[in-house]
């Protein structure tokens, strides 16, 4: 059950944001074997003064369209699955809503299965 937190500059239309959600969910389904309806995602929008990034860190030319994607997930995926996820996210978000690969920043935070409660006060994966 991945939990996704996205941060981006304010001002994009709803269709743009929904396309990001759709692409991320599809990428997770295809590479991380995420089950149907396992969609837990948030977008936080920031004004320019509250959104800062290294425009050329590691020789990647980022723009103000940069989207930070932080994925919290169980520590059960292989390095190959993670690499496949990164590549699929870039491909899908490039198609729709048209994000450049340089503007897709992904971070995975891995946790043990017992660190989730998805409601009812239960540790569903423990």
Residues designated catalytic: 2
Per-position DSSP letters for the chain, written without gaps between them: --EEEEEEETT--HHHHHHHHHHHHHHHHHHS-PPTT---EEEEEE-GGG----TTGGG----TT-EEEEEEEETT--HHHHHHHHHHHHHHHHHTT---GGGEEEEEEEE-GGG---STT--TT-
């Amino acid at each position: 059950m991945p939990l996704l937190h996205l941060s981006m500059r304010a001002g994009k239309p709803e269709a743009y944001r929904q396309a990001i959600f759709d692409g991320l969910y599809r990428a997770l389904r295809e590479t991380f074997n995420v089950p149907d309806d396992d969609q837990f995602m948030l977008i936080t929008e920031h004004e320019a003064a509250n959104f800062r990034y290294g425009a050329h860190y590691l020789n990647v030319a980022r723009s103000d369209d940069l989207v930070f994607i932080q994925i919290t997930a169980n520590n059960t995926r292989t390095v190959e699955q993670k690499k496949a996820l990164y590549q699929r996210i870039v491909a899908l978000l490039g198609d729709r809503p048209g994000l450049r690969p340089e503007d897709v920043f992904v971070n995975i935070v891995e946790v043990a299965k017992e660190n989730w409660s998805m409601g009812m006060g239960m540790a569903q994966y423990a």
